[in-house]
Amino acid sequence: MVPSLVKIVSTFKDTDTKKISLIQNKMDQTFFVQRKMKHADYFVYKALQEHPMQGIPKIYDVQIEEEWLVITEEFIQADTLAEILPFSEKEAVNIVCQLCDILMRLHQLKPPIIHRDIKPENIFYQDGKIILFDFDIARFYDPSKTRDTTLLGSVGYAAPEQFGFAQTGVQSDVYSCGRLLQVLLTGRLDQSVKGHFERIIRKALSMDPKDRFQSAAQLKAELQEMRWIFPGVNNRSRKGKVGSWIGWILSVCIVLSIDTQKNTSFEHDNLYLIACFLVLALLELVICNRHKVPKYDLSLVRWGILSLTYFLLLVGGIGILTLFDRMLSA
């Protein structure tokens, strides 16, 4: 962007190595953010400019002026996550799942871009949507290297390898996502999370990258598995949703083919058919929500719990229908 065509409106940050300002185009009065840095990666920002993606500010210009890398990017008027903390469990999961979508796009580039500075201060939040910004210490993943040449990152959010233990990679951003989830839920870095999120956060924060979720997609899938699923409505995958609808159609066909003359349990045939449908519907419901039962070393324990759950739900459902049948017959 031609310097003579813009004016500086305000300055957000001004140090020896970084200057961030709000600038305005004198021609059409449009606002932009200008980032001037000494240590950012020109090629990372150039890749972001050439591959615009949802959830990241649009990069309009990337230039080198003497010792400065000058970036002109989209101006976004919104609060950061740090200004809103803490969040409800539902909001926190939604935010991290959106972040995983952004990271999946970044990590799928050739070569992958590793953000390396994921924290509440670097994520805008508006109307339930997030925007990840500040790629000032982002780098390309280089499989030929064993460790980073420049040790940078925000203490508490940066993975151990960012401080010289190994090379940062996809799992480094996963680590930061785990820490972010913790802070979104508690509002603090030094407060641990108990309950069903504890296992997920502990795995994401493993010291060894090999012990973490190996991709943002894996982390997102694990978070989505925590939802209760109604078959055919909010399955985790398109394949699962199609399978559920096939199950519903088969269940209806089976129930419609039942001969009500063999009904010896209910006074009303319609309630008998509903009871038959309940047998199949509850089976599909329990199978689709099997992720809610923890995995044990002995798989029979898990399936035993699922079977018991199905049996109890079935007994309860049939009991209610039987009671209703008797009330109608009275």
The one-letter code for the residue type at 307 is S
Burial grade of 229 (CB within 10 A; 0-12, 13-18, 19 or more): buried
**Closest alpha carbon to 75 in 119, 22, 28:** 22
Look at residue 236 and tell me whether its pLDDT is greater than 70.
no
Q: Which domain holds residue 248?
A: 238-329
Res. 196 pLDDT band, cuts 50 70 90 = confident
Q: Which of the residue ranges 12-26, 137-151, 266-280 would you say has the lowest mean pLDDT?
A: 137-151
Residue 29: partners with Cβ closer than 8 Å, 6 or more residues away: none
Q: Which of the residue ranges 139-143, 146-150, 242-246, 291-295 would you say has the lowest mean pLDDT?
A: 146-150
* Both tokens assigned to 56: 């990241």
Q: Quick one: 23 and 90 in the same domain?
A: no
Within a domain: 232: no
pLDDT in tens, 104-113: 999 999 999 9
Q: Quick one: 68 and 89 in the same domain?
A: no
Q: Which of the residue ranges 92-101, 103-112, 170-179, 187-196 would you say has the lowest mean pLDDT?
A: 187-196
* Both tokens assigned to 197: 């999120």
Burial grade of 210 (CB within 10 A; 0-12, 13-18, 19 or more): exposed
**Closest alpha carbon to 105 in 216, 237, 209:** 216
pTM exceeds 0.75: no
* Both tokens assigned to 77: 């008027």
What does pLDDT average to over the chain? 90
Out of 83-87, 141-145, 234-238, give the one with best mean pLDDT: 83-87
Q: Quick one: 92 and 205 in the same domain?
A: yes
Q: Quick one: 257 and 319 in the same domain?
A: yes
Look at residue 234 and tell me whether its pLDDT is greater than 70.
yes
CATH of the domain at 42: 3.30.200.20
Q: What integer pLDDT is reported at residue 261 of this predicted model?
A: 84
Opening angle at CA 267, ends 266 and 269, nearest 5: 75
Q: Quick one: 134 and 92 in the same domain?
A: yes
Mean pLDDT on 178-190 = 95
Q: Quick one: 188 and 248 in the same domain?
A: no
Domains identified in the chain, total number: 3
Look at residue 232 and tell me whether its pLDDT is greater than 90.
no
Q: Quick one: 121 and 204 in the same domain?
A: yes
Res. 4 pLDDT band, cuts 50 70 90 = low
CATH of the domain at 175: 1.10.510.10
How many CB atoms lie under 10 A from the CB of residue 151? 14
Q: Quick one: 204 and 308 in the same domain?
A: no
Residue 72: partners with Cβ closer than 8 Å, 6 or more residues away: 1, 23, 32, 33, 34, 59, 60, 61, 62
Helices within 67-139 (DSSP H only)? 89-107
Q: What integer pLDDT is reported at residue 142 of this predicted model?
A: 86
Out of 180-189, 219-228, 239-248, give the one with best mean pLDDT: 180-189
Q: Quick one: 187 and 67 in the same domain?
A: no
Instruction: Read off φ and ψ for residue 54, nearest 5 degrees.
Output: -65, 140
Query: What span, in angstroms and rounded, lies between the C-alpha atoms of 155 and 150?
Result: 15
Within a domain: 180: yes
Q: What integer pLDDT is reported at residue 260 of this predicted model?
A: 84
Last-in-domain residue among 74, 100, 133: 74
Which residue would you say has higher pLDDT here, 183 or 1?
A: 183
